[in-house]
Structure 1
Amino acid sequence: MFNPTDFPKPTLISVNDVKLEVFEMGQQNAGNPIVLCHGWPEHAFSWRYQVPALAKAGYHVMVPNQRGYGNSSCPKEVTAYDIEHLTGDLAALLDHYGYEDATFVGHDWGAMVVWGMALLHPDRVSKVINLSLPYQERGEVPWVEFMEQILGSDYYFVHFNRRPGVADDVLDENTFQFLRNLYRKNEPLREPDPGMAMINLAKAETPLGEPIMSDSELAVFVTAFESTGFTGGINWYRNLDRNWYLLADVNPVIEQPTLMIYGDRDAVPRNESLHKFVPNVEVVNLDCGHWIQQEKPEETTFAILKWLELQDDT
């Protein structure tokens, strides 16, 4: 397991009217930037296994705790977490370091932000690497409304939007239990319980499957969320329909070279029409669940480095 004390020390950087906590490695590789974007409910620390390997391979690695996470700013307004603000932070991060563009890597919600970055700031993105969450097609109905029709009001994306504050309070009251129960692998297949999945998880006294990290690693996440609470991260979900409107007039095709990494046991559905919207995509499948880069750190790092090397050769 990874020793948390080996992770680089952060710097607080002022960008886009917020402060971002940024972890850096490989500053000697200035000119070859790569930005790693975490998901929910995660932390820059979720990339701990990839950071040293990327720095060793010649990259200037930047891993921000995005707004709402860690010691980064947590604005109160829900709309401060829409896709324009989140991608604006990353564009401003490049400005801070003097970069025109960079390779962007995202997992889970971080992947959603990276897809959005390629749509809203295409000139700032040289290559895309996303894990778990494929490109989400903008259909005719706003996303939360669509999910409510298909998956019902208890589906956690919908619940976060329709019952603001309810899940936040439960997760805040059960931070350790929730994160311990969430970060698992090899969970037995079973019928989902009625109710809201994340609330159920936070209240469950016994975790299923196996932990994906050591107690000291889990403590990094627990300490961060005990400090911030979960509302900032959940507010990303509360902007899904707003994002749907904000992307109405944007060219939906992503032209950059792209690597999409799926976990074969991930509950997040694949996008069968991925090539339609991301024509220059290569797909890699790993035998794991949702927490891809933490469950299969060596395989994930190898897939990323191998693909990047091929891009540099072409």
Structure 2
Amino acid sequence: MDTMINSTEFPQPTMIAVNGVELEVFEAGQEHRGNPIVLCHGWPEHAFAWRHQIPALAAAGYHVIVPNQRGYGHSSCPEDVTAYDIAHLTGDLAALLDHFGYDDAIFVGHDWGANVVWSLAQLHSQRVRKIINLALPYQPRTEKPWIEFLEEIFGGDHYFVHFNRQPGVADAVLDQNTKRFLNNLYRKNVPLAPPEPGMMMINLAKAELAFGDPILTEDELAVLVSAFKKNGFTSSINWYRNMDRNWHLLADVDPIIKQPTLMIYGERDMIPKSENLADFVPNVDVISLDCGHWIQQEKPEETTQAILNWLEK
């Protein structure tokens, strides 16, 4: 049974055919046609992650376009793993602009969504007017493929590596413990502790005790649980299974991001800040908020204000 998103602020979706798939797209501020801003969620998320920003951006004069990207919500979930490579993911966003008749847009990304936006600026540079990315700074291409690189540093239990080297294992555990996993993952004020042995996402899915404080209300959590019970986790995890393929696809692409960019970090996020961001993104402004990874949901007003202030500059 689908959990209806019963927020007066959250728009009803439209199914839009683009790039060989159908995307579930939420819109607000259609009266501001010609001033598009596209919000891209991360993993394991949903367009609903932007619920706090959508009304404010629409009120500020933007046509707000928020897709559930392929593999999520009611959007298509192709079987083929390679259907989730960076060419397809960025191609979906470029095709979404075509659908609305836009040459370019402001793109906002969180987590994996930020990764897609960075790559969109490389692969479809002319479609990106400005960039606002949360949590995940630009990742310069490593000497060797990403999974190999991560395996050497962090070992086989690192969840990026595990997803690739043991396909299906984590997916099954997350599918069996959907609500517990999402409830244990979406926390704030989690006490700092050394990483446990084992695979982090499997550990979270099995943990009886959740640390810190919940970020989502029961109703908000229910939206996510419903979406992931519908599809399972494999389609979204397949994004990770293309990291080495993406490494090859980006081999000959200009690594410099030229667009005006705002990078928003969570001060307590486990993802480290970039030490050389301005070398690759020369036109960047950086701010940090006092929160963990789920920036726009942990600090909704502050995130929205930071975005609007920067865009008004």
Which band: TM-score by shorter chain? over 0.9
CA distance in 2: counterparts of 1:113 and 1:161, whole angstroms: 19
Indicate yes or no: 2:79 matched with 1:101.
no
1:162 and 2:161 matched: no
| Shift, 1:5, TM fit | 4.5
Choose from 280, 283, 307 the match for 2:283.
280
Shift of 1:3: 6.1
Q: Distance in 1 between matches of 2:194 and 2:287?
A: 28
Deviant stretches of 4+, over 4 Å: none
Query: Paired residue for 1:63?
Result: 66
Question: 1:227 and 2:233 equivalent?
Answer: no
Instruction: Name 2:206's counterpart in structure 1.
Output: 203
Q: What TM-score comes out, normalization by structure 2 length?
A: 0.98
AA matched with 1:50: Q
Asked if 1:172 is matched to 2:168, the reply is no
How far is 1:6 from its partner? 3.0
Measured after TM superposition, the shift of residue 218 of structure 1 is: 0.7
CA distance in 2, matches of 1:233, 1:89: 15
Kindly provide the CA deviation profile for residues 7-36 of structure 1, in whole angstroms up to 9, marking residues without a partner as x.
100000000000000000000000000000
Q: Any idea what the Cα deviations from partners look like across 1:56-81, whole Å, max 9, x if unmatched?
A: 00000000000000000000000000
Write the distance in 1 (CA, Å) between the matches of 2:6 and 2:16.
25
Match of 1:86 in 2: 89
RMSD: 0.9
Aligned partner (choices 230, 241, 246) of residue 249 of structure 2: 246
How far did residue 124 of structure 1 move? Answer: 0.2
> What's the offset of the Cα at 1:160?
0.2
- In 1, Cα distance between the equivalents of 2:76 and 2:270? 30
Q: Are 2:227 and 1:213 aligned?
A: no
Q: For residues 265-304 of structure 1, what are the structure 2 equivalents within 5 Å?
A: 265-304=268-307
Rounded to whole Å, the distance in 1 between the matches of 2:125 and 2:50 is 24
CA contact (8 A) 2:72 2:236 kept: yes
One-letter identity of the residue aligned with 2:22: K
1:305 aligns with 2:305: no
> 3, 10, 17: which one pairs with 1:14?
17
Paired residues of 1:168 and 1:230 also in contact (CA < 8 A): yes
Task: State the alpha-carbon separation in 1 of the partners of residues 38 and 229 from structure 2.
Answer: 26
Contact 1:4–1:216 (Cα < 8 Å) also in 2: no
Name the CA distance, whole Å, in 1 between partners of 2:73 and 2:217: 19
Aligned residues of 1:65 and 1:72 also touching (Cα < 8 A): yes
Task: Give me the whole-angstrom Cα distance separating, in 2, the residues matched to 1:159 and 1:132.
Answer: 22
Aligned to 1:150: 153
The TM-score, its normalising length taken from structure 1, stands at 0.97
- Structure 1 residue 224 displacement after superposition: 0.4
Distance 2:251 2:81 in 1: 20
Q: For structure 1, list consecutive stretches of 5 or more residues without a partner in the other structure.
A: none
Partner of 1:39: 42
Paired letter, 1:125? V
Q: Secondary structure at the match of 1:130?
A: strand
Name stretches of at least 5 consecutive residues in structure 2 with no aligned partner. none
Cα distance in 1 for residues equivalent to 2:53 and 2:8: 15
C-alpha displacement of 1:139: 1.6
- Alignment partners' CA distance in 1, 2:84 and 2:194: 33
SS of the residue aligned with 2:64?
Answer: strand
Give yes or no for contact 1:171–1:178 (8 Å, CA) kept in 2.
Answer: yes
Task: Identify which of 183, 189, 193 aligns with 2:192.
Answer: 189
SS at match of 1:238: helix
The alpha carbon displacement at 1:4 in A equals 3.1
- Code of the residue aligned with 2:195 in structure 1: it is P
Whether the 8 Å contact between 2:9 and 2:55 is mirrored in structure 1 is: no
AA at the equivalent of 2:174:
L
SS at match of 2:15: strand
Q: Which whole-Å deviations, capped at 9, do the CAs of 1:87-133 have from their partners, x for residues lacking one?
A: 00000000000000000000000000000100000000000000000
- State the secondary structure of the residue aligned to 1:193: coil
